[in-house]
Amino acid sequence: MTYGSYAVDYLLNFSGARYLGDLVTSGGEPLYLESEVSHMADVKTVLTIAFVSALAMALLSVLACVYLAKRSPGGIRRALFSGAVLTLVLVGALIVTAVLGWESFFTQVHTIFFANGNWTFRMDDTLIRLFPAQFWMDAGIAIAGLVLLVCLVVLICAWPTKARRSAPAPSRKQPAAGTSTRSKPSSRKPAA
What does the pLDDT profile of the chain (192 residues) look like in tens digits? 577 888 889 999 999 999 998 999 888 899 999 999 999 999 999 999 999 999 999 999 999 999 999 998 888 999 999 999 999 999 999 999 999 998 899 889 888 988 777 788 899 999 999 999 899 889 989 999 999 999 999 999 999 887 766 666 555 555 555 555 555 555 556 555
The whole-number pLDDT of residue 42 equals 92
Q: Does a structural domain hold residue 16?
A: yes
Amino acid at 170: P
Q: Does a structural domain hold residue 189?
A: no
Total domains in the fold of the chain: 1
The whole-number pLDDT of residue 162 equals 73
Phi first, then psi, for residue 30 (nearest 5°) are -60, 135
Q: Does a structural domain hold residue 133?
A: yes
Q: Does a structural domain hold residue 178?
A: no
Instruction: Domain of residue 64: give its range.
Output: 2-160
Q: Does a structural domain hold residue 165?
A: no
The whole-number pLDDT of residue 191 equals 59
Task: Please give the angle made by the CA atoms of 53, 20 and 136, to the nearest 5 degrees.
Answer: 60
Q: Does a structural domain hold residue 185?
A: no
Q: Does a structural domain hold residue 180?
A: no
The whole-number pLDDT of residue 177 equals 58
Contacts of 94 (CB under 8 A, 6+ apart): 144
Q: Does a structural domain hold residue 177?
A: no
Contacts of 144 (CB under 8 A, 6+ apart): 91, 94, 95
